Amino acid sequence: MKLIRLFSLAILALSLGMGSCSGEDGTNGTDGKDGTDGTDGAVGKDGKDGVGFDELTKYGNVTLTLTGTRPDDIAFEDSADFKFTAVEGEEFSEHNSVEITEDGEDLRYQFNIIRFISAPDDVYQETIVRFSINATNLGEENEDIVSASLSIFDYPVVGNDNKYFVIDDTYEQDGTGIQEFEFSDLNFDSETNNLSFSYNIVVDGDFNDSNNSLEISGSSSLTLLEAIVND
pLDDT of residue 88: 87
Split the chain (231 residues) into runs of 10 and give each run's mean pLDDT: 49 50 63 70 64 84 98 97 92 94 93 94 85 94 94 97 97 96 94 97 97 98 92 66
pLDDT of residue 19: 47
Is 76 within 8 Å of 70 (Cβ atoms)?
Answer: yes
pLDDT of residue 18: 47
Give the residue among 51, 220, 76, 42 at the shortest CA–CA distance from 155.
Answer: 76
Cα separation, 76 vs 66, whole angstroms: 8
Is 114 within 8 Å of 195 (Cβ atoms)?
Answer: no
Indicate the pTM of the whole model.
0.76
pLDDT of residue 147: 96
Cα separation, 219 vs 25, whole angstroms: 84
Burial 19-52 (b: 16+ CB within 10 A, else e): eeeeeeeeeeeeeeeeeeeeeeeeeeeeeeeeee
pLDDT of residue 25: 65
